[in-house]
Each structure stands twice: as structure tokens, then as C-alpha cells.
Chain A
Amino acid sequence: MSGGYGQPALPDKNRVAVLQNIAHKMRVHIVNMTDASGSGHPTSSSSAADILSCLFFHVMHYSVEEPRHGSSDRFVLSKGHACPVLYAAWCEAGLLSKEHILTLRKPDSLLEGHPTPRQNYIDVATGSLGQGLSIAAGMAYCGKYFDKASYRVFCIMGDGETAEGSVWEAAAFSSHYKLDNLVAIVDVNRLGQSEATALGHSVDVYKARYDAFGWNAIIVDGHDIMAVCKALLTAATTKDKPTALIAKTLKGKYFPGVEDLDNWHGKPLGKQSGPALEAVKALITDNGPHGLSPRPIKDDAPKITFPKVQLCEPPKHTMGEKIATRKTYGEALVKLGKNYSRIVALDGDTKNSTFAITYKNCCPERFVECFIAEQNMVGVGIGLGCRARNIVFVSAFAAFFTRAFDQIRMGAISQTEVNFVGSHAGCSIGEDGPSQMALEDFAMFRTIPGAVCFYPSDAVSAERAFELAANHRGVTFTRTSRPATAVVYENTETFEIGKSKVLRKSDGDKVTVVGAGVTLHEALAAHKTLQAEGINIRVVDAFCLKPVDKALMVECGKATGGRIVTVEDHYFEGGLGEGVAAAVAEDGGVKVHRLAVTGIPRSGPAALLMEDYGISANCIVKAVKKMLA
């Protein structure tokens, strides 16, 4: 009864009955789970139960003993609120017990209200809709082009969530890169949260849209086991394009008094539980164990472990030489990639500005052009990093990462280790003006739990920042600048996460000035000016904004009369200044005066903008004098 690997034969009548029974048992679990928790989404779960039964018990190759096996098929539940159906599937697969699934949503249970990778059979957190397909596309891209393995990727979405633009970014990406190992299933149950979806049951329209995006779209009755399996077989034999199953379903299928009715989103069945359980149990023709095992894995994905990644040679710069830190990004990737082949870089049509192009030119097979679609780019990056397959760098203008803040936020919940590199920071980009200036990027990235935020001021520290990022097992964000700035560190200087550098120090320092990136150089210029006037200041290069070097900031603050001035090419909120202020706040007694960009900037030469918007050397000198007055 076997087709080729990944090409399931059609189930015979007996198998169809078994699969149907499993789906109904899953429905029983779904009702019991959400009754026990008193909350959850049973109707959204029920519409997908037959599809999941086909996937988990007829089509997918995976291991219950090793759910995150590198060669197993991947499954992404993009409609994360339907997680009861996922837990029910793993229960029927033997991984979760019937008792355990009744702990859904309890504070001491791993079975949370939306999927999270705290559970070892779930790769990414979902629950913010429209993100799963990008992640699945990233996994599929990895399987096809990096791992060159047999595994396939399945992603089920709700119909309501396909209103998200990110879904269509993912669709365009997937067909462009011919991801024929990717299957999307749209659970078209017609009903959204607060009303019916815009398209209702117009499956023809969904099909036309996916076809238009270069997919092979197949309409199926999502409750017809045979039809679903047939479509999945077609998907397995379709070359050069991904497949989309447009599955017509009913929300709350088989639940009397609930099925296909308004106002049941996100509610346990309450009084309707009894009738639902009765109705579903009556449909089960065999209550014994189903006896099905997942299809065996073909173990052809390469085994990967991450070594300590190092620059193939130390930085080779001359003091005072002017280099933009954005330029260093590409060079650093090349130096890291020489020693380790699983470093991949993504960019969104800005590679000649972010300098990701330097890496692409060196190692084109390890670069993924994502075009102007930042949400998808971040999702693909997260997908490429799943199951520790790659060390991933994603670059864009820092301002445009705001386009993917929700994906970055969810990435942290997914425990991703993606390294984000944002160029064109601040008003120092000059004439392009505020739409291209990142002035709130640290406010964004500093909120990401566990994220490390670097802001190197020269080429030497930038190279080391990228090296640290590649080795950090968590999210990192490195901010690079457009203008060329002087090298201030010796090539032998070492850098650490959470450590800042004191660049100017004397016994008579009256104020500590903390800068980073372009403002570090402004601070050095201010130091010179003030020194000529007999005022000594300590200059600190922050280098790492999160975690902040609390010990150093407190020490410097106390050593300089309790006076710190921070200066940043960023708005006042959420950046360097707040980080420093928070670091010294508990001790009390240290006053922090923050300089930052004072309003929405405009087009103009960088030096003029920095002066007008309050962050130039001149402004620092004034602020220091004011503090001493």
C-alpha cells in the first residue's frame, strides 16, 4: 500500500474509516479539553479535525519519540487558537495522555492556550494570525535548498487569517522559489471571530487567488477523508509549485446547535457539550486503538551542530580610518561564513544598502533575496532557524523592521535565534528623510524578552558584534549606520555582551557622556572641545544597549559627581538614554540628562540634522556645561 516516499497511496475503505474515527475521537478530546479549561476554541478546532487526522495518520513522516527530528515532516498550525485539535492529534499519536490534555490552559501545564515551543513537538509559537505560512516557507526553503532533504512542510491556516497581507507575501515567495515541498491548507469554515469572513464559503475565489499567486490550488470538502488524502497525494507529486488545499468546512462541525452558527468563536460549548459528545461518539464505529503509526522518516537531512563561530581572521583596520558600520556587516558575514557553512543571510531588496550583498557575492547559495516584504522575510528567517538548521541573519533598513514588529514579537515567544541587522539608523542618514530613518528601533527591539541589542560605533567593534551575535543563542539586533565613521579600537580589542567601553577617562572627570554609533563620535569631539576649555568628561561607548552594563554606568556615574549625559540618534523613548537611566535608577543619586532627536526630522545633510535635532558635539558641550552650572 505504499507510494514513493512522501507520496502516500490513497487509503482504502477501511483506512478511511479508521481515519474518520480518529478525527471523531479528536473531537471528543477537543470538547473535553475546552470544558475542563473553561475557555478555548472548540469550534475552530473541530473544522480542522478530519484534515489533521489525514495529515498525522496517513501522510506525514515523523517520530513520536523524537518530535523535533531534523528529517521529519514539519507541521505549522498557523491558526494557533485551534491548538486543541493539535493536542488531540498528538494524544491520538501516543505522545500526550488523555489525562494530560485535560490540563489545557492551566498555569502548571505545558498545554498553553496557543502553541509554544515549550512543548517539544511544536516548532514555533502561533496565535497572532497570518504568520505561519512564512515560517513554513522558511522551513520548506531550508529543506529544498539547504538540507536538500526529503522532508515536507504542512501549514494549516484559517480562512479569516488569510485576510492578512503577510499570507500573500508568503504565497508570492513560495511560488517564486518553487517550494513544491510545501503544502498550505486553508480551513474555510466561513466564520471569523466577530462575524462571517468577507468571502464566506466562496472557495472558487480562494482557489483563483492562490492560482494567481503561482500555486496549485485544489478545492476539497475538508470533511471528506478520501478527498483530502487525494489532494495531498496530488501535492506530493506536483513539481515546481507549492500546493494549496482550499478545504470547505464547517465551524463546529458535528456539534449540534453549534455547527456553522454565529457567535461560537472562542467559546467552550457549555450546555451544548453534552449533545456534542453524544453526537460525535455515536459516529465512532470502533472505539479500540487505531493501531496506526506515523510513516517512518527518511533520515537524509544533514546532522548539524553549531560550533563556536569565529571570524576567520581578526579585524584588520587602521585607527582613524573611516568605514561605515553597515559596510562592515557584509564583510563580517564573509569572515564568519568562511569557517561555517550554515550561516544564511536574508534581505528585502536593500542588500546594496545594508551590504548584505557582500555576503551574497561571496556565497550566493547562502543568501535569500526576500524582495520588499519584511513580514515574510522575518517569518522565513524564523523558519530557516527552526530545529537549529541554520544561523540566520536578516537585514533591512532598521526603520522597516517596524513593518515586522509582530513577527519579531512572536519570534521571541517562538524562542527564535534570528539575528536582525538594521541599517540606516537615525537622522544621520541625511537627505532621504524621516520615512527612511530608524528613530524608534531600539524602543522596539529592547522590549523583546532576552534580546541582545548591539550598536557598534566603528568597524572593529562591529565585526566583533556580528561574531557575538552569531554565537548568541537568542534574538539579537545590531544597528548599523549609513555614514562612514572613524575606527576607534585596536584590532585586538575584545568585546562582550552586556559590556560597554570607556574611551576617555581622567581623574578629574566631571560628567560621564554615553554615546553609541554616530553619537559616540560626537561625544569624542565634544570631549576635545571641553578639554580645551579645562573641563574633563568621561566618554563611554555603550556598544551593547541590552543587556545594559549596569555596573559600569553606576561606577562612572558615581565617579563623575552623579552626572551622566546620554546622547543617541534615536527618539527619547525606549533607547540608550532610558536604558542607562533605568540602570542607575535603583541606586539613586545619579542624575541622567538625555539628549535625543527632538522631533520628526526632515531631509538635510546629516551634520546639520544632528545639530538641529539636538545630538551633535555642540549640543553635548552645551548639555555638559548646563549640568555643571
Chain B
Amino acid sequence: MFPFRLNPLGPVNASADRSAVTECEPPDYPADEEVATRSGYGAGLAKLGSANPDVVALDGDTKNSTYADQFMTLHPNRYFEMFIAEQNLVGAGIGLAKRGKIPFVSTFAAFLSRAYDQIRMSAISQANIKYAGSHCGVSIGEDGPSQMGLEDIAMFRAIPGAVVLYPSDAVAAERLVAEAAAYEGIVYLRTSRPKTSILYDADESFPIGGCKVIRESSEDKVTVVAAGITLHEALKAHEILAAEGIAIRIIDLYSIKPIDKEALQKAASETNNTLITVEDHYPEGGLGDAVLDAVATQGVCVHKLAVTGVSRSGKPEELLEYHGISADAIVEKVNSL
């Protein structure tokens, strides 16, 4: 028998409308325009915010670089400036996720490493949170290695259940933002600083776990698997090699985790059982290792091109060359086989 009786106030009903992710305005870029995938992220996020009232965005004083500021402009009451404090940025995102929002947490990819413990715990907390890291790789150029994300794919691949996405053009970036929101769980989106050409039509779809075979012939000597900036290098290499009478297959691996195992195994089996992976990331734990994981039980030959050693300041093109992940490096590798 209890002398006291508690009469707590009932919960306040927050909206639970999680529909309308696919009702985002489609991408709209002229075919010959060069647009950075970070810009695609900004545009995609703003459109997503218009389609879905549960989407919120947080950033750590980099919103004019990650382009989260586009969301802020359209939906100022759903944007949270977290200042230069990434641990708290992620923690607040987790809190918002647990209360039914769909948070998109952005900063430079390199600085998400500041919150790796929080990201690790967000998986144990089963948080429906989306992370976006911009300025990946040496392709950021002159700012140098302190600002370059070169271990972010490894970091997020090691998170159980996380989806890891790496769009190669602004169309894919916009679409993958919507896919990320539709997915229930942790998603990481990797974006680049430099402007790159548009590769896909506005109505192209990018299902999680898929990939795009964007160059293919019956004479392909080898398959090159790339994403982001190196996908464009692979396309340049394709042209150079075509002029030399050599054909290569190219796969845009926009979904690094989950990975399209079947497509990779099929491509390998049709191109001399050989894959070349190219990434603007360290060799460990990234796109190359993800591909390796997918084909390791098949004994496929995999050659990994990646950034080895600490990088430095320089022009993006010069750094891609210096680190052996440029079109020339791909051509050289193909010719050496």
C-alpha cells in the first residue's frame, strides 16, 4: 500500500511523420557544369528538409564549407550551430535521433575522428543518425594533411550496421542524402572539396548496396573500382588507355558498405580475375579493403592504389599525382599487369 501516488504529466506528442523522403525535388544541374559533391550534399539536404519535417541538421562552424548552410537558410529553426566542438556535435545529434528526429551531422571528414568514441557509442545506442564528412582526401589541396580526411572510410566501415556512401557527382550526392534519410540506422556520406563533372542523369537512382558499371566492353583487360575524385581519374585513364588500344571496365563504388559483392565478383571473373582499386584515402580500411573483403574468398587479384604516407600542401592535381592515385598512375598500373 503506497501512501503517495505519482501522477506524472503525459508525454507531449512529437510528430512521427517519416514519409516523403522520396518526394524531394530532383537534382537539376546542366550537363556540362562542374559541381562539387559537397555542394550536392548541401542542395540535397536542403531539399530533404523541405520534404520531411523530421530532418534536422547540425554542423561545427564549417557550414559554409560543408554547405550545411543551404539547409540553414531554408529551415533556420531546424539547424543547430554547434561551434568548434565535434564531440558535442555528435552527442547532440544522437540525442535528437533518439527523440525521433533524423539528424544530419556534418563537418570536415578529418574532424569526425574527434568524435570517434561518440560515433562508436552511437551504434551501441542504435541511433538513427547520419554523418557527413566533407573535404575528404588529398584532393583538398593547399590546406594540407591536418584538414584531409584519409581514414574516415576505415573509421565508419568498422561501425556495425553503418552504411558508407561515397558519391562521385553532385547528382549522386543529392540522391544519396535522400537514401540516407530513408535508411533506418547510421549512414556516413563522404564528400569532396573540388568541383567535378556531372556523370549521371537527374533521374538516376542509387540504391544502398549497389554500384554503377559506367564503362564496359567485351575486351576489358581489368576492372578499375573507384569513387569520388578517383572515379573521375579512372575515366580519364580510360580515355588514355583507349587511345592505346586497351579497354578497361570502370565501377563507381558509391556504396562502400554494404558492398555489391556480386557485381565485383562478376566483373573480376570477366576481366582476367583482376581488380584495381583507387581511392583518395589511406590503404587501410578503405574502398580497396572493402573490395578485398568482397572477393577475398574467391582468390581474385586485387591491386590497391591509395595514399601512402603523410601528405602535404599542394595543388589538388599535383597531390593526386604525387600520391599515385591520378589518371596517370592508373594507366601505369594497368600497363604493368
Question: Which residues does A use to contact B, with CB under 8 Å?
Answer: 37, 39-40, 80, 105-107, 109, 112-114, 116, 118, 125-130, 160-161, 163-165, 192-195, 197-198, 374, 399-400, 402-403, 405-406, 409-410, 412-413, 434-435, 439-440, 443-444, 446-450, 546, 562, 571-574, 577-579, 581-582, 585-594, 599-600
| Interchain nearest-CB distance for B255 vs A (Å) | 15
A587 to B288, CA, bound (A): 15
Beta-carbon nearest neighbor of A198 in chain B: B83
Q: Is B298 touching A591 in the complex (CB atoms < 8 A)?
A: yes
Chain A contacts for B313, CB-based, 8 A: 105-107, 109, 112-114
A446 to B314, CA, bound (A): 25
**A582 touching B63 in the complex, CB below 8 Å, given contacts A573-B158, A588-B299:** no
Q: Is B151 touching A193 in the complex (CB atoms < 8 A)?
A: no
Q: Is A574 touching B285 in the complex (CB atoms < 8 A)?
A: yes
Question: Which residues does B use to contact A, with CB under 8 Å?
Answer: 59, 61-65, 69, 81, 83-88, 110-111, 113-114, 116-117, 119-121, 123-124, 141-147, 150-151, 154-155, 157-161, 257, 273-274, 282-285, 288-290, 292-293, 296-304, 308-310, 312-315, 318-319, 322
Q: Is B302 touching A192 in the complex (CB atoms < 8 A)?
A: no
Chain B contacts for A447, CB-based, 8 A: 150-151, 154-155, 282, 284-285
Q: Is A405 touching B124 in the complex (CB atoms < 8 A)?
A: no
Q: Is A160 touching B84 in the complex (CB atoms < 8 A)?
A: yes
**A106 touching B154 in the complex, CB below 8 Å, given contacts A37-B142, A578-B285, A585-B302:** no
| Interchain nearest-CB distance for A431 vs B (Å) | 15
Chain A contacts for B110, CB-based, 8 A: 128, 406, 409
A405 to B117, CA, bound (A): 8
A594 to B64, CA, bound (A): 42
Chain A contacts for B301, CB-based, 8 A: 585-589
| Interchain nearest-CB distance for B210 vs A (Å) | 20
Q: Is B116 touching A405 in the complex (CB atoms < 8 A)?
A: yes
Chain A contacts for B315, CB-based, 8 A: 107
Beta-carbon nearest neighbor of B288 in chain A: A582
A572 to B85, CA, bound (A): 30
**A562 touching B299 in the complex, CB below 8 Å, given contacts A112-B313, A405-B116:** yes
Q: Is A446 touching B113 in the complex (CB atoms < 8 A)?
A: no
Q: Is B304 touching A413 in the complex (CB atoms < 8 A)?
A: no
Beta-carbon nearest neighbor of A575 in chain B: B158
Complex A-B: 18 CB contacts under 8 Å? A80-B146, A112-B144, A113-B147, A114-B313, A116-B312, A128-B147, A163-B61, A192-B61, A194-B62, A195-B81, A413-B145, A435-B124, A443-B154, A446-B284, A573-B285, A574-B158, A589-B299, A593-B297
Chain B contacts for A581, CB-based, 8 A: 289, 292-293, 296
A114 to B81, CA, bound (A): 25
Q: Is B146 touching A405 in the complex (CB atoms < 8 A)?
A: no
**A114 touching B113 in the complex, CB below 8 Å, given contacts A161-B84, A399-B120, A594-B296:** no
**A588 touching B285 in the complex, CB below 8 Å, given contacts A127-B147, A193-B65, A198-B83:** no
Chain B contacts for A574, CB-based, 8 A: 154, 157-158, 284-285, 289
| Interchain nearest-CB distance for B76 vs A (Å) | 12
Q: Is B83 touching A413 in the complex (CB atoms < 8 A)?
A: no
| Interchain nearest-CB distance for B226 vs A (Å) | 17
Q: Is A193 touching B116 in the complex (CB atoms < 8 A)?
A: no
Q: Is B310 touching A449 in the complex (CB atoms < 8 A)?
A: yes
A194 to B79, CA, bound (A): 14
Q: Is A107 touching B319 in the complex (CB atoms < 8 A)?
A: yes
A546 to B155, CA, bound (A): 17
**A129 touching B296 in the complex, CB below 8 Å, given contacts A434-B124, A587-B301:** no
Chain B contacts for A113, CB-based, 8 A: 142-144, 147, 313
Chain B contacts for A577, CB-based, 8 A: 293
| Interchain nearest-CB distance for A437 vs B (Å) | 9
7 cross-chain pairs, A with B, having the tightest CB-CB distances, nearest first: A127-B146, A107-B314, A588-B301, A447-B151, A440-B158, A443-B158, A574-B285
Specify which of B86, B121, B147, B296 is in contact with A114 (CB 8 Å cutoff): B147
19 additional contacts (CB under 8 A) given A194-B63, A593-B296: A106-B314, A107-B312, A116-B144, A164-B114, A192-B84, A193-B65, A194-B61, A194-B65, A197-B83, A443-B154, A443-B155, A546-B284, A573-B290, A579-B284, A586-B301, A588-B274, A588-B300, A591-B296, A591-B297
Chain B contacts for A571, CB-based, 8 A: 158, 160
A197 to B60, CA, bound (A): 11
Chain A contacts for B293, CB-based, 8 A: 572-573, 577-578, 581, 594
Q: Is B303 touching A586 in the complex (CB atoms < 8 A)?
A: yes
Chain B contacts for A114, CB-based, 8 A: 143-147, 313
| Interchain nearest-CB distance for A126 vs B (Å) | 7
Beta-carbon nearest neighbor of B69 in chain A: A194
| Interchain nearest-CB distance for A169 vs B (Å) | 11
Q: Is B83 touching A163 in the complex (CB atoms < 8 A)?
A: yes
Chain A contacts for B113, CB-based, 8 A: 405-406, 409
Beta-carbon nearest neighbor of A109 in chain B: B313
Q: Is A585 touching B292 in the complex (CB atoms < 8 A)?
A: yes
| Interchain nearest-CB distance for A289 vs B (Å) | 30
Q: Is B117 touching A402 in the complex (CB atoms < 8 A)?
A: yes
